[in-house]
Structure 1
Amino acid sequence: MMMPPPVAHQLDELSREVALVCDASGTITWADLRAENVLAAQRGQKLRALAAQGTEEKVDRLLLQARDEKVVGWELILCRDGQKPTTFAFSAQPRDGHLVLVGSLVPEDYGAALAQVSSTLSELSALHRETERQQRELHRRAEELQRVNRDLEESNRGVRSLHAALDEKAESLQRAAEVKSRVVANVSHEFRTPLHSILGLSKVLLNPLNGPLSAEQEKQVQFIRTSAEALYELVNDLLDLSKAEAGKAVLRPSRFATDEFMRGLRGMMRPLVPLESSVELFCPEPPAGLELETDEAKLSQVLRNLVSNAVKFTERGNITVTLTQGPRDTVSFAVKDTGIGIPPEYHERIFEEFVQVDTPIHKKVKGTGLGLPLARRLTEMLGGSLTVQSAPGQGATFTVTIPRVHPEVKEMTGLTERAEKLDPAKAPVLVLEDDRQTLFLYEKYLERSGFQVLPVRSVEEARRTVQRVRPAAMVLDVMLEGETSWNFLAEMKTKEETRDIPILVVTITDREQKARALGADEFWLKPVEATQLLRKLGELAHRGPVERILIIDDDEVHRYLLKQLLKDTPYMLMEATSGKEGIRLAREKAPHLIFLDFLLPEMTAFDVLDELKADPRTRDIPVILQTAHELKEDERSRLARETAAILAKHTLSREVAIARIRDALSKAGLGSRVEEREVRRG
């Protein structure tokens, strides 16, 4: 059946194939209609001429291969008049010396997809090569890391060995230092006794009242006395230096005016300058009204040493001691002389023990070699520094710069001020200790552990503090400066109102048996570790929460008086001016105890008590009733059943209030009830 022409035309348009016949040389001998329409292929035209530029060789290879065998799916890019390249997948087969070629049109999107696939494959290949390269690099680095780890492990073993050796050396040096300190102290004390005898006897011999001496004998005895004085000075300096090095020198700060200090210093230093000397000593007046708060004795000792040193190396001229104010609340004492001076290379060495300047002029003057090291040590104890400026032949200026107020004094003042303001969230711990540094240490131990340090440095101060505040625990050093606290320990454990306060004795002398016999709950030798102290306080002391007390009273004056009576106690006070407000606060704040006035403007104590007892949140809160009203017998009976105590306002005192509070809290079982109420509130 013949198709109508329009249908045949549509089939031609929809067809995606072209057919060509070529001879052996590649010349087109026949082309179908679609080949003529799509490619403009004509008889006699070379198939090579239809190839896109650059793909001619691919056409030649197709023709060559198709002569011998059938070819399927050979892609060629052919063009019509050099324009609009089209991709075909050709199949070719030899027939009677000619080649029959049928090409299937490849869609443009397929070609683009093939190009994309080709590009993606190229990228994957490059990525694969890069991955392999990175793997090789990682492998190399892993090997390098293993080598470094082996080196570090070897170094670590070496460092551990070195640390062990250093620890052993440090222990050895510490033992040697302790032995040296004990030997120096013992020897120094042993030297003092015979030296006192020598000095005393030489003074007796030189006294004309005890019989005349010949001129030669007097000269010899004077030599003996001079040598004994030099040796005595050496022993004193050696002992003081040993104490300073061992940290055993006690700091005794006090407040004093500089004008009085300089006048006293002038009087002490004038005898250091011989009468026959041509050296004058000047001490200009210091700034008026200036006060220092530091160790006056140690500061005086430093300046005496510096003046004594200046006298030795100044043959003529003057020695001037001046005082000036410096920056950041410091003061500077300068001891300036017109002596022989000190070479620059010795400016630091002179502060080393037993070191003296090695010049002919300095060798003429004998010294102990301990005065300047001791002066620097004492200056450092005062929180300052000692420096020197000098040059040969131009004299020397030694400058002592110290804080106007010693750092420990500032710390102690801050510690005392912090203790005066009780933190209701912390339990107070009274610490009786005369060493300021130990007090600071205890504060650091306890500041983040629910305790507040109440520092005291004497037994009398401890007694005053206990009258003001009931501590949750006490830490006592029984060996104080100038007294012991044994009697205070016995007193605290004997009195009914303080016997239940846990007391920990921490001291330097092993008297555990005595401490336990007097009632101490724990005994330790110094030093005590932070974890050790906190663990024991946690076991023995009640840390809170601090008792909250609600005062319900419309009388502002009486509320003020009650607050004054409970001032400086570890209780946190809240106020309500009416019964309704008090009930609301009791429900919201869950106080541990309530002070309730009998007569309120809009309701009586019975009404408030009924409201409190009806609410599970407030039912167990103990109530202390206060009244200035004469109660009837039935009223008193009922109130006695529903309250912890009934107090008359006109007889209320601090002692009575605190005692009733303790009784009420104790009967209420504070330790467990507080926790229950806190849980209910949460």
Structure 2
Amino acid sequence: MRHLASPDVGLFDDLSREVAFACDSGGTLTWVDARAHALLSATPGQTLRSLAAKGAEEKVDKLLVQARDERVEGWELILCRDNSPTTFAFRARPHEGGVLMVGSLVPEDYGNALNQVSASLSEVSTLHRETERQQRELKRRAEELTRLNRELEESNRGVRVLHTALDEKAESLQLASEIKSRVVANVSHEFRTPLHSILGLSKVLLNPINGTLSGEQEKQVQFIRNSAEALFELVNDLLDLSKMEAGKTTLRHSRFVVRDVLSALRGMMKPLLPPDSPVELRLVEPEEALELETDESRLSQILRNLVSNAVKFTESGHVTVAVTPGPRDTVIFTVQDTGIGIAPENHERIFEEFSQVDSPLQRKVKGTGLGLPLARKLTELLGGTLTVQSSLGHGATFTVTLPRVHTEVAEMTGLTTRSQQLDPTRAPVLVLEDDRQTLFLYEKYLARSGFQVLPVRSTEEARRVLERVRPAAMVLDVMLEGETSWNFLADMKNGESTRDIPVLVVTVTDREQKARALGADEFWLKPVDEVRLQKKLQAMARSGPVERLLLIDDDDVHRYLLKQLLKDLPYVLLEASGGKQGVQIAREQAPHLIFLDFVLPDITAFDVLDELKADPRTREIPVILHTSHELKEDERTRLARETAAILAKHTLSREVAITRIRDALAKAGLGSHSLLEGSRRG
């Protein structure tokens, strides 16, 4: 067999596609192999950036940064080979403070690529010319719009003049309405006192125990009593209407069944229908036990007014009150009579205040003209509707449709439900307020400024909430239904764990001196301005306790980099260069969160975690592990169970740090209001 001669080793070098470099930490070449010198004209002393094609320098820097800390595989760089861009796939690793690199030439058809680039540039040029044309057209249209805007501005001046006049008229009407409401309310209250006296004295005179009256005297006193009762009814209706117009009507929601309402109505209406009356009152109860959650007294007042009105205008026959369940979780009450009826053209007129339909029977009964308007306003106050169906001579049917659960109750339930799940992106504010509408306003106001309202209507509820949440601030009304919150305020400011929570007292009584003495940070009288409330709570929340973060890492550079990422955020940053020192600081300073390096000089990260978990003082502190070490599968699994997050040092950014800190604090149930404010500023 003939043996072939061994080929020259240099021929293999000519066919090789690999190049090798060594460079220092700054990217300066300290050694190059022969192929690197031949292919790229690389020589020691050059920088790796100088070999890069234009535009690839930043990628070279990133490779050097990562390769100084860990192995890198498959990193593509475009270097200049005979002044032509050539793609190499590099592998690199750290070595004695510098980097060792081996690159393999990636064969590509750069001619085709350049042709494609050239074609793309041509298309871009065409698009650029089209864009310039469109910009000229847009400029022309903008000039046209400017001209039209000038014309509109002239028209707007005239409209603004008209609006000013209308505003002045509206203010005048509003003032007149307020004056009327105040006068009516004050006069109504003043009328009640003498009316009570007249009714009481007439009752005394009509009682035979106090002496016998002649038949004529008894008749006269009875006339006085009847007139006083009619006037008393008118005063009460006026007062209710004035309260509703002034928006001062309060609702007291409760759960009750319809059967109880009808039973009470029967007792109230009995005096209007004596046994010999030609009019019969019929009450038709629903087949099922209907439960409502609304204002029972207001509902009774509506039905009482409707039945009273029906009895007045029914000379004989019956007045029937029926209740049935309605669609979409509503309840329908109907009051039907066999009276004189109402002409269709008067159906809306009867709901106008002091308005009455002229008829012989109307002139006979002389109603106040307020019963039906009041009933409709009360129905609307309960979130329902009141309608009428009637014609002359065929009686009338009044229909009241109410939501089974009042909208305020439903909204309050939703507000309470939303507060059960804490939103880590919003700072919680405990609001102690017994008025539901005020609670809705607080939620509306504060949701716009990054707060989450935790609503409570009693001090007992407030204490239960504080067992699971530490709020960023509190808003207290000291005058609650059935209690005051003075003792609660004192307890909060005397408690070691709650004294630093800012408290804003908002109430209707001027007791600022007492509130300040008990420790309130601020005192306001109602009503509350939205912007003022937002600014005050933001300022108070920022003055609360600042989160403390502990950095356990033996690398001074990494600790410095982490501090730079968290710069300008409102944290107290504690540092430890070893695991044992870090555990000791955690026990003494009680940080809210710990950044722990995986590789430590004295004890392992697992030892640190074990010691933290073994001590009740540090057991609940969340830990974020940050490392440049490549974790094994079993290590990663265990750490995932025992830490809040695992972060690679080379990928850590400000945004990632803020997000992980916020998530960790939220999981631990700690307030994050300072984080929120800081992240906004950052």
The one of 614, 618, 636 aligned to 1:625? 614
Match of 1:536 in 2: 536
Cα distance in 2 between the residues matched to 1:221 and 1:306? 29
Contact 1:305 1:372 in 2 (8 A): yes
Moved more, 169-178 or 296-305: 169-178
Cα distance in 1 between the residues matched to 2:671 and 2:420? 29
TM-aligned CA distance change 1:311 to 1:547, over 3 Å? farther
1:502-546 superposed Cα distances (whole Å, 9 cap, x missing partner): 011222334334333332222233332333222222222159999
Matched residue type, 1:240: D
1:175-230 superposed Cα distances (whole Å, 9 cap, x missing partner): 22222222222211111111111111111111112111111111111111110110
1:277-301 superposed Cα distances (whole Å, 9 cap, x missing partner): 2000001121313211111110011
Cα distance in 2 between the residues matched to 1:674 and 1:454? 18
SS at match of 2:504: strand
- TM-score normalised per structure 1: 0.60
Q: CA deviation at 1:414?
A: 0.9
TM-aligned CA distance change 1:186 to 1:485, over 3 Å? same
Q: How does 1:120-269 map to 2 (within 5 A)?
A: 152-269=152-269
TM-aligned CA distance change 1:670 to 1:272, over 3 Å? closer
SS at match of 1:283: strand
1:588-647 superposed Cα distances (whole Å, 9 cap, x missing partner): xxx944799xxxxxxxx964366679xxxxxxxx9453489xxxxxxxxxxxxxxxxxxx
Matched residue type, 1:625: A
SS at match of 2:520: coil
Match of 2:413 in 1: 413
Cα distance in 1 between the residues matched to 2:214 and 2:675? 94
Q: CA deviation at 1:407?
A: 0.8
Match of 2:362 in 1: 362
Cα distance in 2 between the residues matched to 1:455 and 1:669? 17
Match of 2:431 in 1: 431
The answer on 1:526 being equivalent to 2:526 is yes
Match of 1:287 in 2: 287
1:254-313 superposed Cα distances (whole Å, 9 cap, x missing partner): 111222322232222222323332000001121313211111110011000000000110
- TM-score normalised per structure 2: 0.60
Cα distance in 2 between the residues matched to 1:316 and 1:612? 88
Cα distance in 2 between the residues matched to 1:674 and 1:242? 46
Cα distance in 2 between the residues matched to 1:184 and 1:228? 18
Q: How does 1:283-432 map to 2 (within 5 A)?
A: 283-432=283-432
SS at match of 1:515: helix
TM-aligned CA distance change 1:529 to 1:627, over 3 Å? closer
Match of 1:515 in 2: 515
Q: Which has the higher contact order (CA 8 A, sep 6+)?
A: 2
Matched residue type, 2:305: N
TM-aligned CA distance change 1:531 to 1:145, over 3 Å? closer
Contact 1:512 1:523 in 2 (8 A): yes
Contact 1:279 1:315 in 2 (8 A): yes
TM-aligned CA distance change 1:293 to 1:228, over 3 Å? same
Cα distance in 2 between the residues matched to 1:488 and 1:593? 31
Match of 2:605 in 1: 608
Moved more, 262-271 or 211-220: 262-271
Q: CA deviation at 1:500?
A: 0.6
TM-aligned CA distance change 1:669 to 1:162, over 3 Å? closer
TM-aligned CA distance change 1:145 to 1:360, over 3 Å? farther
Match of 1:647 in 2: none
Moved more, 515-524 or 239-248: 515-524
TM-aligned CA distance change 1:671 to 1:432, over 3 Å? closer
Contact 1:451 1:543 in 2 (8 A): no
Cα distance in 1 between the residues matched to 2:549 and 2:518? 34
Contact 1:259 1:288 in 2 (8 A): no
Contact 1:425 1:544 in 2 (8 A): no
Q: Determine what percentage of the aligned residue pairs are the same residue.
A: 72
Contact 2:542 2:677 in 1 (8 A): no
In structure 2, stretches of 5+ residues that fail to align are 1-139, 551-578, 584-590, 597-601, 618-663
Contact 2:424 2:672 in 1 (8 A): no
Match of 2:442 in 1: 442
TM-aligned CA distance change 1:673 to 1:257, over 3 Å? closer
Larger radius of gyration, structure 1 or 2? 1
Q: CA deviation at 1:672?
A: 8.9
SS at match of 1:259: helix
Cα distance in 2 between the residues matched to 1:381 and 1:670? 40
TM-aligned CA distance change 1:187 to 1:448, over 3 Å? closer
Q: CA deviation at 1:478?
A: 2.3
Cα distance in 2 between the residues matched to 1:673 and 1:330? 46
Cα distance in 1 between the residues matched to 2:415 and 2:672? 30
Contact 1:595 1:624 in 2 (8 A): no
Cα distance in 2 between the residues matched to 1:549 and 1:290? 57
SS at match of 2:614: strand
Give the RMSD, CA atoms, in angstroms: 4.0
SS at match of 1:364: helix
TM-aligned CA distance change 1:518 to 1:547, over 3 Å? closer
SS at match of 1:394: coil
TM-aligned CA distance change 1:193 to 1:530, over 3 Å? closer
1:443-500 superposed Cα distances (whole Å, 9 cap, x missing partner): 1222354322110112232233223322111011223233332332233222222111
Matched residue type, 1:255: R
Moved more, 247-256 or 467-476: 467-476
TM-aligned CA distance change 1:548 to 1:156, over 3 Å? same
SS at match of 1:452: strand
Matched residue type, 2:171: E
Matched residue type, 1:234: L
SS at match of 1:445: helix
TM-aligned CA distance change 1:163 to 1:388, over 3 Å? same
Cα distance in 1 between the residues matched to 2:233 and 2:281? 22
In structure 1, stretches of 5+ residues that fail to align are 1-137, 551-578, 584-590, 597-604, 614-621, 629-660
Q: CA deviation at 1:347?
A: 0.7
SS at match of 1:331: strand
SS at match of 1:282: strand
TM-aligned CA distance change 1:549 to 1:216, over 3 Å? farther
Contact 2:502 2:544 in 1 (8 A): no
SS at match of 1:454: strand
Cα distance in 1 between the residues matched to 2:335 and 2:246? 28
Match of 1:278 in 2: 278
TM-aligned CA distance change 1:173 to 1:375, over 3 Å? same
Matched residue type, 2:396: A
The answer on 1:479 being equivalent to 2:479 is yes
Contact 1:334 1:399 in 2 (8 A): yes
Cα distance in 1 between the residues matched to 2:675 and 2:321? 69
The answer on 1:497 being equivalent to 2:486 is no
Matched residue type, 1:186: N
